[in-house]
Structure 1
Amino acid sequence: MAEFDFSQAISEARAKYEEIALALDVNRLQSQAAQLEQEAAEPGLWDDPEHAQKVTSKLSAVQSQLKHLASAASRIDDVETLVELGREEADQDTLDEAQSEVESITNDLRDMEIQTLMDGEYDERSAVVTIRSGAGGVDAADFAQMLLRMYLRWAERNGYKAKVMDTSYAEEAGIKSATFQVDAPYAYGRLSVEGGTHRLVRISPFDNQGRRQTSFAAVEVVPLVEATDHIEVPESEIRVDTYCASGPGGQGVNTTYSAVRITHIPTGIVVTMQDERSQIQNRAAAMAVLQSRLLVLRHEEEAKKKKELAGDIKASWGDQMRSYVLHPYQMVKDLRTGEETSQTQAVFDGDIDAFIQAGIRWRHEQRRESAENGED
C-alpha cells in the first residue's frame, strides 16, 4: 500500500483554501458582517419582522462563512504540526489521525467551494418550489408527494425554514401539485438545479397485478421576489378566483372562500394559494409567487436573446433530469451529471446534497462554456 503523501495533500488543501478565500472575498464578507451587525442592533429592527428575519438570517450566513474559513485555515496549520510531530516520534497512530484529518479538511473544502460556484443573479435568494404530477396516473401523484417529502426533509436536515404554501390533493392518493417556500441564503442557488422532469420506475403499489410502472413529476424552482425587482402586474392582466380550501380526498378544510387562484392572462400562468387563513393573506402570497414566476420568465427571455446572439449552445437541461429506479434494481441517477447512488431510501429521506452539489458544479461549467462561446 502506497504511503500517504502528506506534503502534496496539505499543499493542495492550502491552495484550495486560498482559492476559496479569494473567490468569497474575506474583506467583503467582514465588511458585510459589520454592516449587518449594525442593522441587527437597531432598536426598531423587529417592528418589521419579515425584514428582521432577512437581516438576522443573512448575518448568520455571513458569520458562518467567516467562521468556516477561519476554521479551515487553522485546521490546515494544526494538521501540518501534527504530521511533523508524528514523524519526529515515529508514531503511526498520530500519522493515521493526521491522514484522517487531512481527508476531512479536503471534504470540507470541497463543500465550501460550492458556495463560490453559486454566482447567478438570483442564487442568493430564498426559493419557491412547485411540484406537479405528470404522466403515470395515481403513481405520478404518489411520486409527486414523495418528492415533496424529500425536499422538506432535505430542508429540515440542513436547518432551513420551509413552509408549504399550497397543496392540491389527488383523489385516490398523492398530490396533483404542491408549492413550498424555502427561506435560507442561497436556497435558490441550491434548489434551482433540481428543476426539471423527475422519473420514477417501480412496482406499482396501486396495481393489483404487481406490474412495473413508470411515472413522472415536474419540479419548478423560482427565486423569491424582492421589493427591488419591480415586477409590475396590472390588475387588468389578472383574474382572481376564490374558493374553499380543501384537504386530502377533496375534503373541505374550511367553509370560507379563503383560497385564492390568480391567473395571469397574458402568459396563462396560474397560481393557487390556500395555506393562509384569510383571503387577503392568500392573495398576497399568490401574487408574490406569480411575480417570482414572471421574474424568471423575464430572465429566461433575456437569456434566450443572448443565446440567439451567441449561437446555439449544446448545454441544455433536457426534459428528464433524474431517474429514481426501485425495480428491478435500486438506483437514483442524475442524467446531466452522472451522479448516482443505490441508497434510494436515503435519497427519499432528503439525503440529496451530493446530487445538488454535482448539479451546481455542472451548471457552473455550462455557464462558463456559455460565456466562452459568447466571447468567440
Structure 2
Amino acid sequence: MATPDFAEQLKALDATLTSIEKVLDLDSIRTEIASLQEEVGDPGLWDDQANAQRVTSRLSGLQAEVERVTGLRGRLDDVEIMQEMAAEEGDAAAEAEVTSELVKIQKAIDALEVRTLLSGEYDMRDALVSIRSGAGGVDAADFALMLQRMYIRWAERHGYTVEVYDTSYAEEAGLKSTTFAIKAPYAYGTLSVEAGTHRLVRISPFDNQGRRQTSFAAVEVVPVLEQTDEIDIPDEEIRVDVYRSSGPGGQSVNTTDSAVRLTHIPTGTVVSCQNEKSQLQNKASAMVILKAKLLALKKAEERAQLDEMRGDVQASWGDQMRNYVLNPYQMVKDLRTEHESGNTQAVLDGEIDDFIEAGIRWRRGQAA
C-alpha cells in the first residue's frame, strides 16, 4: 500500500497533469494531426517544398507533443503499480527506485506545465538566436563563443536541430557575433527569456598577469518567420554586399565571393550569412534572418517596447540579466528571477532548463 506522502504526491501530480491535458486540448491536437497526415499523403505535397517542410515539421512537432503528454501519463500510472509491488514485497531497493522515478516525473511535469505558459503569437516558432560580444575585449569574444556552445549543447540535449547561419570570428579568440536557428516546437517562446546582457567574471586566460576580468555579451532571440507572415521588403530598400567567407583569425575559407551581407536601408538592420556553399543559398538564408529581425522590430515598435522584444542592449555594466562568476567563487545567477546554480560547468555545458523555466514563470508573473 502506498505511503501517505507518496499517495499525496501522486494525487498532486495527477491533478497537475490533468490540468495540462485540458490546457493543451489533446483532442484538438489529434484532429490537426489527422488533417496534416492527409496532406502528407498527397502525392503533390512536395511540388511546393517550402509548404511541404512546414507541414511535415508541424506534424512532427504535434506528434512529439502528444507522445510527451501520453508518455508522462503512462509513467504516472506505472509508478503507482511499482510502489504497490515494492511495498507488498518489502523491497527497499525497489522503493528507492520508485522515489527516484517520482522525482523525475515531477521534473518532467513541471517542465510541461511551463510549456502551457507559452501562449504568445509567435511562441510556437523556431528561434533565431544572435550573440555578439560586448565590453571586455578578447574575453568578451571568448564569452560569446562560450554562450554559443551553451545554447547549442542545450539544443543537442533535447534533440533539437541547430542551423548556423553566420559566424564572425574575432582576431585573437572567440566570436564577434554569431547567428543560428534552433528548430523545435516552441523554441522561440522558450528561449525568448534568454534575451539580454550576460556577464562573465573570471581569471582571464588571455591576461599574462592572471588578473580577474569582467566581460559582457548580448543575446537576441527572434522568431523564425513562415511564408504566411506579412513582411514585404522592396528591393530598393536592401543593399546587397558579397565577400569571401572567413574563419578563425580572418583566414579565407572560400575562394569565391559566396558570403552575403544584407542591409535594410530604412532601419539600418544588417545581417549576413556565410555558411552555405553558394552565394544564392547564403542570400536566401540572410533574407530569412532579415525578415525575422524586421518582424521583431515591427512588433516591438507597435508595443513601444523595442528593447524588450529585440534584446537591444548595450552589453555592458548596469544592464545585465545574468551573471556567470567563475572566480573568486563559482555561481551562475539570474538577476531577474534570483534563480542560481553553483555548478557553473554544467550550466555552460547546456544545463539551463531550470533558468529558462524560472524565466518563463517570472515573465508570466510580470504580465499578471
On whether the aligned pair clears a TM of 0.5, the verdict is yes
Q: Secondary structure at the match of 2:263?
A: strand
Match of residue 310 from structure 2: none
1:138 aligns with 138
Distance 1:96 1:206, change over 3 A: closer
Is the contact between residue 4 and residue 99 of structure 1 (CA under 8 Å) also seen in structure 2? Answer: no
**1:180-195 paired onto structure 2 within 5 Å:** 180-195=180-195
Q: Distance in 2 between matches of 1:191 and 1:321?
A: 14
1:63 matched residue in structure 2: 63
Q: Is 2:52 the partner of 1:45?
A: no
Cα distance, 1:103–1:345 mapped onto 2, change above 3 Å: closer
Counterpart position of 1:169: 169
DSSP-derived class of the 1:228 partner: coil
Deviations 1:69-127 (A, max 9, x none): 22333333343344455556666555544433333322221121122111111111111
Residue aligning to 1:73: 73
SS of the residue corresponding to residue 144 of structure 1 reads helix
Output the CA distance in 1 between the equivalents of 2:326 and 2:90.
50
- CA drift of 1:42 comes to 2.1
Alignment check: 8 A CA contact 1:222 1:292 kept: yes
Residue 179 of structure 1 aligns with an amino acid whose one-letter code is T
Structure 1 pair 244–12 and aligned structure 2 pair: CA distance change class (3 A)? same
Q: Which residue of 1 aligns with 2:237?
A: 237
Displacement of 1:269 in angstroms is 0.9
Alpha-carbon deviations, 1:247-301, whole Å to 9, x = none?
A: 1111112232222211112211111111122222222211211111110111112
Query: 1:255–1:74: structure 2 CA closer, same or farther, 3 Å change rule?
Result: closer
Partner SS state of residue 227, structure 1: coil
Residues 233, 82 of structure 1: CA spacing in aligned structure 2 closer, same or farther, 3 A cutoff? same
Q: What one-letter code is carried by the residue in structure 2 that aligns with 1:69?
A: V
Q: Which residue of structure 2 lines up, in the alignment, with residue 312 of structure 1?
A: none
Q: Distance in 1 between matches of 2:255 and 2:81?
A: 69
Q: Verify: 1:31 aligned to 2:17, yes or no.
A: no
| Stretch of structure 1 that moved more, 100-109 or 347-356 | 100-109
Letter in 2 for 1:144: A
Classify 1:251/1:7 alpha carbon distance in 2 versus 1 (closer, same or farther; 3 Å). Answer: same
Residue type of the alignment partner of 1:206:
F
Equivalent residue for 2:341? Answer: 341
In the aligned structure 1, how far is the partner of 2:164 from the partner of 2:225? Answer: 17
Counterpart of 2:36, as a letter, is: L
RMSD, matched Cα: 2.1
Three-state SS of the structure 1 residue aligned to 2:116 is: helix
Identity %: 59
Q: How far does residue 329 in structure 1 lie from its aligned partner after superposition?
A: 0.8
Equivalent residues in 2 for 1:189-204 (5 A)?
189-204=189-204
- Once the two structures are overlaid, the 10-residue window that deviates more, 232-241 or 9-18, is 232-241
What's the TM-score, normalizing by structure 1? 0.88
The one-letter code sitting in structure 2 at the alignment partner of 1:77 is: D
Partner of 1:6: 6
Paired letter, 1:35: S
Structure 2 CA distance, aligned partners of 1:28 and 1:238? 42
One-letter identity of the residue aligned with 2:195: G
> How many angstroms does 1:166 deviate by?
0.7
Per-residue deviation, 1:140: 0.6
- Which amino acid in 2 is paired with 1:136? G
